[in-house]
């Protein structure tokens, strides 16, 4: 498991033993995000107004660093094939970086405010993004064109996540709601209400049957992804949940607490 912190570090953990395997140091500012590569051999991380760094999971050593302070990167992710890096930033743009060519291959522009999160579709052909401009956009990777815009949230959108089949996306917002959208039509399919404060994250389970959402109200809520019915409320925190991630089998999830 990978965790990151405002103390500028990333840590790798053995989930079974709970032992810390590696402490990854090198960022000069708070780390905003970290993700494993699809094959689990690398970790990519970004920090606020600093750099994007690539790490070797086995050794804990830094492989490379990309200095793009002017982008003010907010989120970073590997492509499904692991050859490219996708990131978004506070300057309203989304970028794909080719690690083999060591260059920026595509830039996506259209959001009117900071882009808060971005993700490749499972097949890698489209991208979903969300923004402080209260919209969600679907982008065609090949053409870099925005092919769908979803509107409905009343405040900034904090996160967005594709369903395993790529047909839907789930979004979380400071307006206290979670919403599910059809990626092809842009239609809102479900409105999930119940959190008492802003929702910081929402993710589909690996089988697409459950949505988990975390909030500033210190709870995690589990929802039926088909009906929108609330399944369970987990009240196990004294601080709010900033992120969560299901295990591959969908039976467990890891969470980050502020």
SS3 call for 235: coil
Residue reference for tokens 């970073």:
76
Cβ proximity of 63 and 72 under 8 Å: no
Q: Is residue 33 part of a domain?
A: no
Q: How many domains does the chain have?
A: 1
Among 38, 81, 72, CA closest to 52? 72
Q: What is the pLDDT of residue 230?
A: 96
* DSSP annotation string for 188-214: EEEEEE--SS-EEEEEE-TTSSEEEEE
Region 210-228: what's the mean pLDDT? Answer: 92
Is the per-residue pLDDT at 157 higher than 80? yes
Region 162-180: what's the mean pLDDT? Answer: 98
Is the per-residue pLDDT at 254 higher than 50? no
Furthest-apart CA atoms within the chain: distance in Å: 47
Question: What's 163's domain CATH number?
Answer: 2.40.128.630
Bridging pattern class, strands 84-89 and 93-98? antiparallel
Question: What is the Cα 247 distance to its own chain's centre?
Answer: 15
126-149: per-residue pLDDT in tens? 999 999 999 999 999 999 999 999
- pLDDT band at residue 18 under the 50/70/90 scheme: confident
Q: How far apart are the first and last CA of the chain?
A: 17
* pTM listed for this prediction: 0.87
Q: What is the pLDDT of residue 27?
A: 87
Instruction: Say which residues have a Cβ less than 8 Å from residue 152's Cβ, sequence separation at least 6.
Output: 179, 188
Q: Is residue 237 part of a domain?
A: yes
Q: What is the pLDDT of residue 250?
A: 47
Averaged pLDDT score across all residues of the chain: 88
Q: Is residue 21 part of a domain?
A: no
SS3 call for 102: coil
63-117: per-residue pLDDT in tens? 988 876 556 888 999 999 999 999 998 889 999 989 888 788 999 999 999 999 9
Q: Is residue 149 part of a domain?
A: no
- Full domain range(s) for residue 234: 157-258
Q: Is residue 42 part of a domain?
A: no
CA–CA dist 158, 198 (Å, integer): 9
Q: Is residue 108 part of a domain?
A: no
CA–CA dist 79, 136 (Å, integer): 19
Q: Is residue 253 part of a domain?
A: yes
Q: Is residue 256 part of a domain?
A: yes
Q: What is the DSSP letter of 6?
A: T
Q: How many residues does the chain have?
A: 258
The two tokens of residue 89 are 């930033």
CA–CA dist 98, 67 (Å, integer): 15
Cβ proximity of 168 and 162 under 8 Å: yes
Q: What is the pLDDT of residue 236?
A: 57
């Amino acid at each position: 498991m990978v965790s990151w912190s405002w103390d500028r570090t990333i840590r790798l953990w053995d989930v079974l033993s709970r032992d810390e395997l590696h402490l990854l140091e090198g960022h000069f500012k708070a780390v905003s995000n970290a993700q494993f590569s699809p094959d689990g051999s690398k970790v990519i991380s970004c920090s606020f107004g600093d750099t994007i760094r690539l790490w070797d999971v086995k050794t804990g050593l830094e492989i490379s660093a990309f200095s793009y302070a002017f982008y003010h990167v907010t989120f970073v992710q590997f492509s499904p094939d692991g050859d490219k890096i996708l990131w978004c930033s506070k300057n309203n743009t989304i970028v794909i970086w080719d690690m083999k060519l060591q260059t920026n291959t595509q830039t996506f522009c259209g959001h009117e405010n900071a882009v808060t999160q971005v993700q490749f579709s499972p097949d890698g052909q489209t991208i979903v993004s969300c923004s402080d401009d209260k919209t969600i956009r679907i982008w065609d990777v090949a053409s870099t064109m925005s092919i769908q815009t979803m509107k409905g949230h009343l405040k900034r959108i904090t996160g967005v996540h594709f369903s395993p089949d790529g047909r839907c996306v789930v979004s979380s917002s400071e307006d206290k709601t979670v919403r599910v959208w059809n990626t092809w039509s842009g239609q809102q399919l479900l409105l999930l209400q119940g959190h008492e404060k802003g929702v910081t994250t929402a993710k589909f389970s690996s089988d697409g049957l459950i949505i988990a959402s975390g909030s500033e109200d210190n709870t995690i809520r589990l929802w039926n992804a088909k009906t929108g019915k609330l399944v369970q409320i987990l009240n196990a925190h004294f601080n709010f949940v900033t992120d969560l991630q299901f295990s591959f089998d969908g039976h467990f999830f890891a969470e980050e607490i502020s």
